[in-house]
């Protein structure tokens, strides 16, 4: 469907001048109506919404400024151009500060200027409308993309939890049963066949290591319980497991209990901490790692610090996959993340979450 011609409302008590403007606008293919007073203009505006309003600042029944205020012309409302007499240019400029697109002075050149000035105003309105529509479309697409990303992460997290639960409740239990059988076999063979008993002992030892690895894997797949204090418990377990497995000093500290009631948010925070600790171990060979969860400046801050050499000076933005994933996870939950070096040495990853996501226990 072709675009409809624009509608222009002319508000001026000089009806002869209004007719001349209407005739000029018809030649341009524009539709126009006129109102001889502020009251008539308000009545028309209650029934129709023009694309542009031309407002004479000197009306018989009210000042143009009053009409502009009462009709809510300008930004967020109907665009307008002011018509002013000679010597009133300062008032017109003041109206432009309040949102007028342009102004026209009633002088000898008025009829020559009114059409091109109105045309420029209509062009600006059309351009602004297209920009606003494009921005709205972008915002809708961005919101839909974010929704799909969150849905994908939720599906992935749910599948990880299911695999983790199956691993813990199924395979770990079966491995534990095999361990008991190996230990029983060792005891049975201890007096009859020491070589076979030793072999059974080695099988039991390997089985214990396998069970520990499987449980750690299950813990990594199912990090946070639905319970509100799940994040703090999970971070405590994370620090303990890294200390046990990698023989490093990994500590968790929280000055006060902090509840993250949304399990999706808690899971993302846990994954950020897990990735930050893993990076500290894999890339900089840190031997001391501190995980901290605290409330500060109206937000909840999760930080992971290490005693490694720190981030390189040229690191202006996250470049490794792990760092990009951490930044992405922070963005999903509306948090800000920073990668910096501690003044005393070592690197620090800080994730700041608005306090609306958390509650204070007690």
Q: What digits encode the pLDDT tens for the residues 87-130?
A: 677 777 788 888 899 989 888 899 999 999 999 999 999 999 99
Do 226-362 and 7-107 have the same topology in CATH? no
Instruction: Provide the pLDDT for residue 319.
Output: 62
Instruction: List the strands of the sheet with 80-85, edge to edge.
Output: 31-35, 7-11, 52-56, 80-85, 102-106
Q: Give the length of the chain.
A: 362
Q: What is the pLDDT of residue 314?
A: 62
Dihedrals φ, ψ of 112, to 5°? Answer: -75, -30
Count CB neighbours of 274 within 10 A: 21
Tell me the two tokens of residue 4.
């409809």
Predicted local confidence at residue 77, as pLDDT: 87
Question: Is the pTM here over 0.75, yes or no?
Answer: no
> 131-167, pLDDT tens digit by residue?
999 999 999 998 888 788 777 777 776 777 778 777 7
Give the tokens for residue 193: 């066949």
Q: What is the pLDDT of residue 210?
A: 83
Class of 7-107 per CATH? alpha beta
Residue 1: its pLDDT value, please?
A: 37
Q: Where are the domains of the chain?
A: 7-107, 226-362
Half-sphere exposure of 224 (CA within 13 A, CB side): 26
CATH 3.30.460.10 is right for the domain spanning 226-362: no
Q: Is residue 251 within 8 Å of 289, Cβ to Cβ?
A: yes
Please list the ranges in the chain whose pLDDT falls under 50: 1-2, 226, 228, 316, 360-362
pLDDT value at position 362? Answer: 36
């Amino acid at each position: 469907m072709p675009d409809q011609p624009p509608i222009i409302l002319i508000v001026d008590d000089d009806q002869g001048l209004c007719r001349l403007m209407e005739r000029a606008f018809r030649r341009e293919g524009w539709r126009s109506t006129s109102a001889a007073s502020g009251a008539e203009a308000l009545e028309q505006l209650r029934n129709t919404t023009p694309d542009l309003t031309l407002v004479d600042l000197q009306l018989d029944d009210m000042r143009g400024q009053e009409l502009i205020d009462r009709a809510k012309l300008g930004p967020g409302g109907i665009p307008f151009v002011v018509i002013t007499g000679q010597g009133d240019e300062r008032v017109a400029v003041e109206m432009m500060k309040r949102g007028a697109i342009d102004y026209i002075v009633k002088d000898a050149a008025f009829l020559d200027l009114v059409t091109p000035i109105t045309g420029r105003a209509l062009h600006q309105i059309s351009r602004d409308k297209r920009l606003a529509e494009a921005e709205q479309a972008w915002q809708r697409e961005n919101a839909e993309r974010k929704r799909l990303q969150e849905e994908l992460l939720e599906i992935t997290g749910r599948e990880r939890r299911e695999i983790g639960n199956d691993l813990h409740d199924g395979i770990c239990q079966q491995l534990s049963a095999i361990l008991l059988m190996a230990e029983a076999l060792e005891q049975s063979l201890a007096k009859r066949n020491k070589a076979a008993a030793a072999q059974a002992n080695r099988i039991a030892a390997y089985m214990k290591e396998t069970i520990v690895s499987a449980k750690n894997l299950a813990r990594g797949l199912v990090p946070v319980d639905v319970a509100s204090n799940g994040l703090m418990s999970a971070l405590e377990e994370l620090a303990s497991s890294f200390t046990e497995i990698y023989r490093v000093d990994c500590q968790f500290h929280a000055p006060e209990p902090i509840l993250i009631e949304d399990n999706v948010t808690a899971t993302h925070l846990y994954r950020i901490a897990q990735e930050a600790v893993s990076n500290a171990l894999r890339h900089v060979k840190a031997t001391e790692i501190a995980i901290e969860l605290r409330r500060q400046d109206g937000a909840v801050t999760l930080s992971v610090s290490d005693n490694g050499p720190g981030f390189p000076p040229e690191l202006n933005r996250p470049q490794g996959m792990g760092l990009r994933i951490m930044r992405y996870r922070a963005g999903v939950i509306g948090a800000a993340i920073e990668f910096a070096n501690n003044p005393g040495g070592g690197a620090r990853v800080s994730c700041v979450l608005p306090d609306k996501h958390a509650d204070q226990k007690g």
